[in-house]
Amino acid sequence: MAASPSAVILIGSTRPGLIGLTSVLPIPLGSPTMNTTATATFNQPVRYRSTRSTRGLYDGKDVAFGNNVPFSLKKTRRRWNPNLQYKRVYSEILDEMIPFHVTTSALRTIDKMGGLDEYLLRSKHVSTKGEGEGQRVRNRLIQKIQHREMLKQCAIERGENVDDWDRIVLEGKKIRQQAAPTTPQSSSSSSLMEES
């Protein structure tokens, strides 16, 4: 039994800076469909991320480098910095204003996602490991959520009704229960009775 001859196809790039993109695809010659026996393993390129972008919410933006090219074509090196602002952003779960170094792109994304808490919990640009402003606040959010769930479980074990927990509103570091809505008809009818 002779092994079937096969062709080797190289897919990838030899550009510097892209790591692990080259892979080998063994494809048997004469096979009716090429994808039945083709196997490939692609490694994602490792993208350099500066330590500066871990110091705030950069939303994937980073410092870019290049050249100024005038009419004389004499190139001089330059850099493009992200549009970085120092802002205080409100966290609903922590109920406080948190100062951040944040890009304007990240501010737009925070608005689109529905607030700082959603951005920190769902964004791929806030790393789950490492250091940084976003990571520290994200860890605090997760601890607060876990603490709330633990309190809710303790209340269930004590036999308390937890249906009203969704109506609890945080108000300036104090927790208050929302009052049940009153009907304006009942208050106006009682005032009419008092007059007569």
pLDDT tens for each residue of 3-61:
555 444 444 444 444 444 444 444 455 544 444 444 555 666 666 677 787 788 998 89
Report the C-alpha dihedral over residues 100, 106, 108, 111, rounded to 10 degrees.
Answer: -60
Mean predicted confidence (pLDDT) in 102-112: 95
What is the separation of C-alpha 177 from the centre of its chain, rounded to a whole number of angstroms? 31
Mean predicted confidence (pLDDT) in 94-106: 94
Point out the least confidently predicted range of 63-67, 114-118, 122-126, 161-165: 161-165
Boundaries of every domain in the chain:
1-47, 54-93+100-148
Check if the beta carbon of residue 26 is closer than 8 Å to that of residue 39. yes
**pTM check: above 0.75:** no
Q: Is the pLDDT of residue 104 over 90?
A: yes
CATH architecture of the domain with range 54-93+100-148: Roll (2.30)
Of 145, 110, 146, the closest CA to residue 125 belongs to 110
Looking at residue 142, its amino acid is: I
Average pLDDT score over the chain: 74
Residue 124 half-sphere exposure toward CB, CA atoms < 13 A: 2
Dist. CA 51–CA 84, nearest whole Å: 15
Tokens 């910095």 sit on residue: 81
Sign of CA dihedral 185, 186, 189, 191: negative
